[in-house]
Amino acid sequence: MATAASTLKAVLFDRDGTLVFDVPYNGNAELVRPVPGARKVLDEVRSLGLATGVLSNQSGIARGLLTREEVDSVNARVEDLLGPFDVWEVCPHEAGDGCRCRKPAPGMIQSACRRLGIDPSEAAFIGDIGSDVEAAAAAGARGVLVPTPQTRPEEVTAAPEVAVDLEQAVSLLLQGMLLRGLA
């Protein structure tokens, strides 16, 4: 039976707090700052032929605090700093809207995987809060939590896998591939 590591085809990332420092409701591309090591980790993932993607809740759109154009501008800046991503998914809804895309719902992961032509079991999702790893589990993907000071202790306790930073998170995901000589 193949493990998730031996069939990993894509690594998906949360944006705010995971790839870039979280600036609440950021509509200003000039405020985008990558977390330490993000570019190196993404370059490693891409060098192995794995797809990459970004999935981000952006309720500020529904709340009227941001426009979709501002979010797109911030996303473009993320890509300028961290390299090209194969897929982007943005949920513009508020928590009470009842959509299937807002994490912890699995919709964005399912959509990203569909667009990449893979099964969610062939993807991993790295994020900084409980709803990220909950979305991964709900979609059938592997989830890794990289806590920040804003991550609640109960989210860390509940997470199936926890890493101290992006580099360790990706190392956990790739460990099985490298041991099997698949990389």
Average pLDDT value for residue range 83-104:
95
Residue-wise pLDDT for 94-137, tens only, equals 988 999 999 999 999 999 999 999 999 999 999 999 999 999 99
Cα separation of 146 and 165, whole Å?
6
pTM for the full predicted model: 0.92
Identify whether the C-beta of residue 148 lies closer than 8 Å to the C-beta of residue 17.
Answer: yes
- Per-residue pLDDT at 165: 97
Average pLDDT score over residue span 56-72:
96
Q: Determine the pLDDT at residue 2.
A: 39
Does 147 score more than 60 pLDDT?
Answer: yes
* Active site (annotated) includes residue 14: yes
Q: Is 16 a catalytic residue?
A: yes
Q: Work out the mean pLDDT of the chain and round it to a whole number.
A: 93
Q: Is it the case that residue 182 has pLDDT exceeding 60?
A: no
The DSSP-derived string for 60-101 is: TTTTTSS-HHHHHHHHHHHHHHH---SEEEEE---GGG--SS
pLDDT in tens, 164-180: 999 999 999 998 665 44
- In the chain, the percentage of residues whose pLDDT exceeds 90 is 89
pLDDT at 175 (0 to 100): 86
Residue that wins the pLDDT comparison between 181 and 176: 176
CA-only gyration radius of the chain, Å: 15
6 compared with 115, residue with greater pLDDT? 115
pLDDT at position 5:
44
Domain range for 165 is: 5-179
pLDDT band at 6 (very low <50, low <70, confident <90, very high): low
Identify the CATH number of the domain in which residue 132 sits: 3.40.50.1000
**What is the number of domains present in the chain?**
1
Three-point CA angle 33, 12, 172, nearest 5°: 95
